[in-house]
Amino acid sequence: MSLRSDCLVIGAGIAGMTAALYLKRSNVNVILIEKSAPGGQINMTSKIENYPGFDSIDGPTLAMNIFNQIKSLGVEYRYGNVIDIVDTGKSKIVKTDMDEIECQVVIIATGRIPKELGLENEKQLTGRGVSWCAVCDGFFYKDKKVAIIGGGNCALEEALFLADIAKKVYLIHRRDQFRAELCLQDKINEKKNIEIIFNSNIIELKEKDNKLSEIILETKGKKESLPVDGLFIHVGFKPNLSFIKNLNIKTEDEYIIVDQNMETNIKNIFACGDVIKKDVYQLTTAVGEGAIAATNAKKRIDNTLNKI
């Protein structure tokens, strides 16, 4: 099936939904496309305490609040996995696994996906003890022993969430100090069932009956075994951009480079949120970038119409 729209927003995370909201309120014919649940990575966040207007809110609730807002405005929302973008010069053809959409302007807001450790049987044990989302899978580890690897905000937030479910939580970090906010570190130190292991890496995953049974750590050159029922991985992210391989979009460290208008080096292709190269990756910056991308996309669409 072939569709047409003034603007197509790829990705329904907080940046993409903000862009769609601004476009629809400006009377732009916009389609928002997403291959999974609206909200993206914030659906994996148990508690958000640095978003203005909320002392505390969980990620799925914030995502659904924004999604309901754009749906009430009449934004067309479609499920689909974008596999390619073709620039014809006059328009953009966005190909998904279900249909093709022709539009004047594209806004890429596909965010990031968690990195893997790269261990031999990591993929095999996914869903069998290995996870990237405590909100999704924490329930399965009630009164059990789990480990989390990472040192940023996400890792510590997951540890705090799991500490209220699991009997024991090992928080493993390859360096000698965390990168996370001090307020999170203080909360970690208050939890009696969280044990911190610094200067350590996971080098092997052991399994029993096709489930994770223990992890092998290397700490200051020494190996040790740590029996656990679950492992939650938070060692960083990478941009989700497999569909731009046929475009000459400029990137740095795999992230899209944009100007102050959130436009890429290809005319009428904008990008915003965690998929772009920037210094601060936060919900608040994603919202601002979504608004900037939408505002400039609207100007571009209006200029095109005025020339017809």
**Catalytic residue IDs:** 133, 136-137
Supply the DSSP string of the chain, one letter for each residue.
-EEEEEEEEE--SHHHHHHHHHHHHTT--EEEEESS-TTGGGGG-S-B-SSTT-SSB-HHHHHHHHHHHHHHHT-EEEE--EEEEEE-SS-EEEEESS-EEEEEEEEE---EEEPP---TTTTTTBTTTEES-HHHHGGGGTTSEEEEE--SHHHHHHHHHHHTTSSEEEEE-SSSS--S-HHHHHHHHH-TTEEEE-SEEEEEEEEETTEEEEEEEEETTEEEEEE-SEEEE-S-EEE--GGGTTS---EETTEEP--TTSB-SSTTEEE-GGGB--S---HHHHHHHHHHHHHHHHHHHHHHHHH-
